[in-house]
Structure 1
């Protein structure tokens, strides 16, 4: 018993030492969840629930860091400690410094390998790192990656040496000085442009696997033929591989299928198949096994939904969006996914879930994820709660044309060959990473012509690469007769100033009703909104007025709409909630009533 108390005392002293080495940066507002963040308990949840293994090791926590001149050798000494996975510029990182295009961010930490992993391959996973990443284990280069929004992994088995190992990561992010997709990040934040995000911003983790293992799952429902297809991507596929998929409704096995030779498993679903929708977001549980000679080499847990996104002309000749072959007015907020304490990274998993839950509480059935990609758990929560997602491609390229609004002249920008190749690579990686999530209904390659180029070609490739979803070519941007939608932006009130008789016509952005709530603002003097009011009642009244106008435009042609926006973001004060999520600016009951009226407008007819 004495030894137990000594051990507890040691760990208590160690925790105090950790806290002494890390402190959240002061000076800005923060969410309620920031207070729950500690170095020994940072985003501990399994990061990839759509393909889950039971055995893994989380590497989030305190790492050493140094900011060095770009292109220089690794540092001899480090500047201090950073809390991973929060970007260096964020308050929760404990650093709060801008790295910039002329510097690189270097990380270091040690880790051990559990003895139970002996004889296994060990994979090192990064949820997302912005932007160019180089990784070493015990001084051995194990890989590189470019892209600020997608997961990547390295097999580090041959670089390991016994139990104790050293991991080093070097990151370069040119922000708006580069050609890469970056979303709303700029070197000098103002207006609708926000703080840079450099480095690791999603969970880092280790996972043991067999020599042959499942790298990815590509899950495709077909409700018209009552089929579910599951393509298991195996690292070193051979003719000996047998993939087995079992489908469960709760604990009841309802369907199963097998394949060999790398084939896709096609599963006949039961006659009384349950369809997924915002009102009934039913998910089937999947168990996927990789077998060789009758022995299980790998096994992952997953899930799937039977649903279909399409368009069809209604009785009045208007092209409507459909879910499961039924018209549905898709209505939701523009959701940028920024946090005052974590920037790109929600402080906790509860915080990540909160914005989605409030969207559901407000009566919406959709979210437009605006020029950012979220961690995998965010999409799983949308799947579970029944929220349709329109997914933007993060905009980029250092060309200033789209920042000073010259795109209204109607010309597309000319990208360099390097810039174009980067866009195509990262767009494909985003689509690959998110393909299996049932919630995603629409891909949006461009927003308001920000970096827009070769639109018909990009849209056609997107449609061919994923024919199961709709494509909104350019939300509010230069319009071309391609894809599935004509997407208008109009602030502040909704207006149907263009109409497409061959595609669905949607209102991709409107609203922007602002209210500065003192004590809950990012900066005291530089607050911005399309229009501003001074009370919850005024904001709610204006919101309801616009919603009624939108409702009257649905018979004339609108098939979906997006309200700006879920929360305030930095100096933007046009959110339904404040940036710190501590104040809901609207009357929830009134907002939900009018939102439900809009969402049900087509399904009632």
Structure 2
């Protein structure tokens, strides 16, 4: 990149910031939060509560953007402004354009480093960018990342100048024409497949750290031993000591230290508080890193004491357990899409709204379907008390799907590139989410979409994280592996297979549709697995299915997932409209029967 090009770009930034006026793109429905969005204060909350430092700088807001042919050089002229971190296809980006596999999306802005950060290293963080990301700071390429669902960062210190610094980001995303995990994005949206999401879709931020600093925390509670193990990964250089304190409010309840990079293992008091959806007790953690006898870094985190396991009950059924007790897990499918922000909730208040409504409806679990959320979403689950079933976003071709029998489904043979993309991103997702207490189940595959080497992938997932349960293929081709057998059946619940060794769960059912005029993404072609005309009819059918589920719990079901919490694009089978403005059922009735289901194994 030539210096004269940068002068042009800098001039464009100043001109655009003065003259341009952001407004949402398109005429699709919007949430109330999107309608009131302040473009000068976009998602201002600290983006990573599981490992928090006091100093940081938010880079969300107005950036320049351009869309060019794939392989073209950095643009001389940018086409306008985009509101980061909303994907370019979204309304809230202010752009509303598609990109596709033959083009690339460019971002450009300037930033300054606070004077108080001088002498420290500066990390540039991206919460999520879909899919291949190249980054330059002051003409210096600082790194590349592939993957649309895991956070990443670069140390940009060597590239920084005093005063203004120029940041350029290039993104290429082939959507469903590539060999990468992509979730439900397709070039031509229809039915259960949705609008593409290209580029930055989570917060971009800067953070100052010392030359020696904490890179990652891995927190592992054990309720049987009453211990918590804290693995502290650093950025490389050796350290003297790591100190860890566990706090209950302002009171220190456990403390310890380790040398030479070893984990810190702490014993908790006998009256340790257990986490559950009914009582989501959290403990704060402080981690201090020493180098040459001096404090090199300090971060705040938190943990919770809970255990996810399986066990035979007195009737001989294998049940899911929470904290060594039979516990029926029941919650909605949550796809995490927004009519105005697509992958990105307009505000943190919007992000937590769906979760609060899930609790209001009386559920104790949520299945995060074919998507990974920003870090704050998982912290909200931790605080509210919702068990999370975390899907791996799908990708790759689908094999023969035989969901009603064992062993007869044909697994897909992926290319080496596709398999490598899957394995890399699944590991990154598990790494970044490991310490969130609410995550109870990993789901590598859904409905045979891209399902390959199921036994091997399930075994690797369990080996990599033995503290959680593995649902090997939710509603997919069934093999005797992982921790449960997961059936899908629409619309009513149905127990058509049973596993005497593993818990049998109903990973999807329901899909009761209601199209409400004025709250629809599409003017027509809206659908549900069954459709009704009034909230009263939907509530009545929901209750019918729930009563059927209660009977099947007695016959072996150990968990269930209702489709779904909100409408998504042309799907109108949510309990809430896509714009989150109307609850489509009688909330009190739904809550009452949901609580009965959640307590079915405790009566």
Query: Does residue 226 of structure 2 align to residue 226 of structure 1?
Result: yes
SS of residue matched to 1:34: helix
Aligned to 1:364: 363
Query: Does residue 88 of structure 2 align to residue 88 of structure 1?
Result: yes
Q: CA deviation at 1:23?
A: 1.0
Is contact 1:59-1:206 (8 Å) kept?
Answer: yes
Q: CA deviation at 1:72?
A: 1.1
Aligned to 2:75: 75
Aligned to 1:10: none
Is contact 2:398-2:449 (8 Å) kept?
Answer: no
Query: Which range is displaced more, 31-40 or 343-352?
Result: 31-40
Aligned to 2:545: 546
Residues 254 and 492 of structure 1, relative CA distance in 2, 3 Å threshold: same
Residues 262 and 514 of structure 1, relative CA distance in 2, 3 Å threshold: same
SS of residue matched to 1:357: helix
After superposition, residues 180-199 of structure 1 pair within 5 angstroms as 180-199=180-199
Residues 377 and 18 of structure 1, relative CA distance in 2, 3 Å threshold: farther
Partner deviation per Cα, 1:493-535 (whole Å, 9 max, x = no partner): 0000000001000000000000000000001111011000000
SS of residue matched to 1:554: helix
Q: CA deviation at 1:412?
A: 1.0
Aligned to 2:207: 207
After superposition, residues 10-89 of structure 1 pair within 5 angstroms as 20-89=20-89
Aligned to 1:242: 241
Q: CA deviation at 1:103?
A: 0.4
Stretches of structure 1 that go unaligned for 5 or more consecutive residues are 1-13
Is contact 1:15-1:40 (8 Å) kept?
Answer: no
Measure the CA separation in 2 of the matches of 1:169 and 1:278.
41
Is contact 1:19-1:39 (8 Å) kept?
Answer: no
Q: CA deviation at 1:163?
A: 1.8
Measure the CA separation in 1 of the matches of 2:60 and 2:497.
49
Aligned to 1:9: none
Aligned to 2:217: 217
Stretches of structure 2 that go unaligned for 5 or more consecutive residues are 1-13
Is contact 1:401-1:407 (8 Å) kept?
Answer: no
Aligned to 2:425: 426
Measure the CA separation in 2 of the matches of 1:272 and 1:390.
28
Partner deviation per Cα, 1:570-601 (whole Å, 9 max, x = no partner): 00000000000000001000000000000011
Residues 406 and 525 of structure 1, relative CA distance in 2, 3 Å threshold: farther
After superposition, residues 288-307 of structure 1 pair within 5 angstroms as 288-307=287-306
Aligned to 1:457: 456
Measure the CA separation in 2 of the matches of 1:499 and 1:400.
25
Is contact 1:255-1:267 (8 Å) kept?
Answer: yes
Q: CA deviation at 1:293?
A: 3.3
Is contact 2:306-2:323 (8 Å) kept?
Answer: yes
SS of residue matched to 2:531: strand
CA RMSD of superposed structures (Å): 1.4
Superposition TM-score, scaled by structure 2 size:
0.96
Query: Does residue 401 of structure 2 align to residue 396 of structure 1?
Result: no
Q: CA deviation at 1:241?
A: 2.6
Measure the CA separation in 2 of the matches of 1:52 and 1:355.
25
Measure the CA separation in 2 of the matches of 1:193 and 1:465.
31
SS of residue matched to 2:554: coil
Aligned to 1:562: 561
Aligned to 2:11: none
After superposition, residues 564-583 of structure 1 pair within 5 angstroms as 564-583=563-582
Aligned to 1:7: none
Q: CA deviation at 1:21?
A: 2.7
After superposition, residues 435-450 of structure 1 pair within 5 angstroms as 435-450=434-449
Alignment: residue pair count: 587
SS of residue matched to 1:355: helix
SS of residue matched to 1:257: strand
Superposition TM-score, scaled by structure 1 size:
0.95
Aligned to 2:4: none
Is contact 2:176-2:187 (8 Å) kept?
Answer: yes
Aligned to 2:8: none
Aligned to 2:149: 149
Is contact 2:56-2:205 (8 Å) kept?
Answer: yes
Is contact 1:19-1:38 (8 Å) kept?
Answer: no
Aligned to 1:507: 506
SS of residue matched to 2:167: strand
Q: CA deviation at 1:141?
A: 0.3
Q: CA deviation at 1:16?
A: 12
Measure the CA separation in 2 of the matches of 1:421 and 1:38.
40
Partner deviation per Cα, 1:135-165 (whole Å, 9 max, x = no partner): 0000000000000000000000000011210
After superposition, residues 317-336 of structure 1 pair within 5 angstroms as 317-336=316-335
Is contact 1:127-1:150 (8 Å) kept?
Answer: yes
Query: Does residue 346 of structure 2 align to residue 347 of structure 1?
Result: yes
Aligned to 2:372: 373
Measure the CA separation in 2 of the matches of 1:195 and 1:458.
29
SS of residue matched to 1:125: strand
Measure the CA separation in 2 of the matches of 1:171 and 1:354.
30
Measure the CA separation in 1 of the matches of 2:183 and 2:118.
42
Query: Does residue 438 of structure 2 align to residue 415 of structure 1?
Result: no
Is contact 2:398-2:448 (8 Å) kept?
Answer: no
Q: CA deviation at 1:410?
A: 1.6
Aligned to 1:531: 530
Measure the CA separation in 2 of the matches of 1:312 and 1:252.
35
